[in-house]
Structure 1
Amino acid sequence: MDFEAVAAQLRKPDGEFGKQVGAKMNESNWYINQYLIENLNLKSHDHLLEIGMGNGFFVKDVFAKEPSVTYVGCDFSETMVEEASQLNQSFIENGQAQFIVASTTRLPFANETFDTVFTINTLYFWEKPSEDLAEIRRVLKPGGELQIAIRPKPLMKKLPFTQYGFTLYEKEDVVDLLSASGFRLIGVVEKDEPVHQKVNGDSVQMVTVIVRAGKY
């Protein structure tokens, strides 16, 4: 298997292969998505931004948790934005959701737009995370919350594709990044997932880490 090609598609899914990778990510990332959605502190009519929503498979679960929210998903993969828009057409038609091509380096939103921003398994690909966090902080309302979900460095190092273009993090690294960017730490959740993945014949325990931080 061409792990470098897989890594490139995980970063930015493109074309038919990208669609296949997106569908596979729904399976491998099911628990990390569910854990973060469970962890969201949603209030009635909140405005949410998800960075890197992939094909939008889990958007329905956000609305199941709080039907009154307004959701925006952004991804710099045109393929994923198209897929997410098709999958969530009913939410779009109801004015509850929209999907746009955008990157954390330049979010096309006014200052203080969102109550919550969250992102799952994208931090590895941020080339200048301090600048990305400053941009996220700009679009968050005062008192708003950012949640970042990752898999920790010791686990990720066991996966063969992460040597290509991934920056790996311990939970402490994420906390330090957020603190340096002016966020206030709310808490850290670390949970073993009830699944293992086979890697080179070995069974690897999957782990979810969620770091929650607020805007002063």
Structure 2
Amino acid sequence: MSELARRLNQCKKPVGDQGKLVVEDMNESHYKLTGWGLDKVNILEDSTVLDIGCGGGRTVNRLVSLANKGKVCGIDYSSDCVRWASDYNKELIEEGRVFIKEASVEKLPFEDNKFDFVTAVETIYFWPHIEENIKEVKRVLKKGGKFIIINEIYDDVKFKERNEEFIKNSDMKIYSKDELKDFLKAAGYLNIQMEVKEQNNWICYVGEK
């Protein structure tokens, strides 16, 4: 297995010592991307927010700074990530402002109509059944709630060589701009917005329930 393949596999489900290094790197490298995406929505101070694929927990921590009178939940299907994200947010968990759970987007362990916002930062590529998973996210959103997808990669000719190398070395799926928008439409999301930062190959979608 190549070094790139090993790293991409850890991006999908970080585990062990190597996964810890990858998660710590993602906490840093995704910070600007995440901020760019979160600027597209207005998270109110009393919002209830879910971060799917919370990794090392920095995005959860950032969401608490926005929803400072609300609650933020992070989930990840890596038990190691749950532990690392919990360590990163230890004080906030003790205060009852943050909850970290081991769970998959395949079946979210929450009742219907629970969250004002759901975020997915750099995780969509690895969702196993993307159309059904997007519907599952909609289930746990409140009416008028928003789903924010933030990716640093989309299918674009300017990044074709790099993206094809990623695909060759992993089972990640890199979507075109229209593909994810069409999935959101098919799932019944409203007022879908899409923005790109072409020079970085970044893309953000916001869909409303």
Same fold (TM over 0.5): yes
Report what 1:177 is aligned to.
183
Report the CA distance between 1:13 and its aligned residue: 0.2
- Give runs of ≥4 in structure 1 deviating > 3 Å: 159-162
Q: Deviations over 1:84-124 (max 9, x none)?
A: 10110111011110101111000000111111111011111
Superposition pairs of residues 22-101 of structure 1, within 5 angstroms: 22-101=23-102
Q: Determine if contact 1:47/1:69 at 8 Å carries over to the other structure.
A: yes
Report the CA distance between 1:157 and its aligned residue: 5.1
Q: Determine if contact 1:152/1:208 at 8 Å carries over to the other structure.
A: yes
Report what 2:171 is aligned to.
165
- Unmatched runs of 5 consecutive residues or more in structure 1: 193-204
Report what 2:208 is aligned to.
214
Q: Deviations over 1:15-46 (max 9, x none)?
A: 11100010111232222111123223212311
Q: Percent identity over the alignment? A: 30
How many residues align? The count is 203
Report the CA distance between 1:156 and its aligned residue: 7.0
Q: Determine if contact 1:114/1:139 at 8 Å carries over to the other structure.
A: yes
- Unmatched runs of 5 consecutive residues or more in structure 2: none
Asked if 1:186 is matched to 2:192, the reply is yes
Greater share of strand residues, 1 or 2? 1
Q: Distance in 1 between the 2:69 and 2:104 partners?
A: 26
Evaluate the alpha carbon distance shift between residue 157 and residue 138 of structure 1 in structure 2; reply closer, same or farther with a 3 A threshold: farther
Equivalent AA in structure 2 for residue 208 of structure 1: W
SS in 2 for 1:6: helix
Q: Distance in 1 between the 2:96 and 2:191 partners?
A: 32
Q: Deviations over 1:20-79 (max 9, x none)?
A: 010111232222111123223212311100101110123332222331121000011111
TM-score scaled to structure 1, two decimals?
0.88
The two structures, once aligned, show a CA RMSD in angstroms of: 1.6
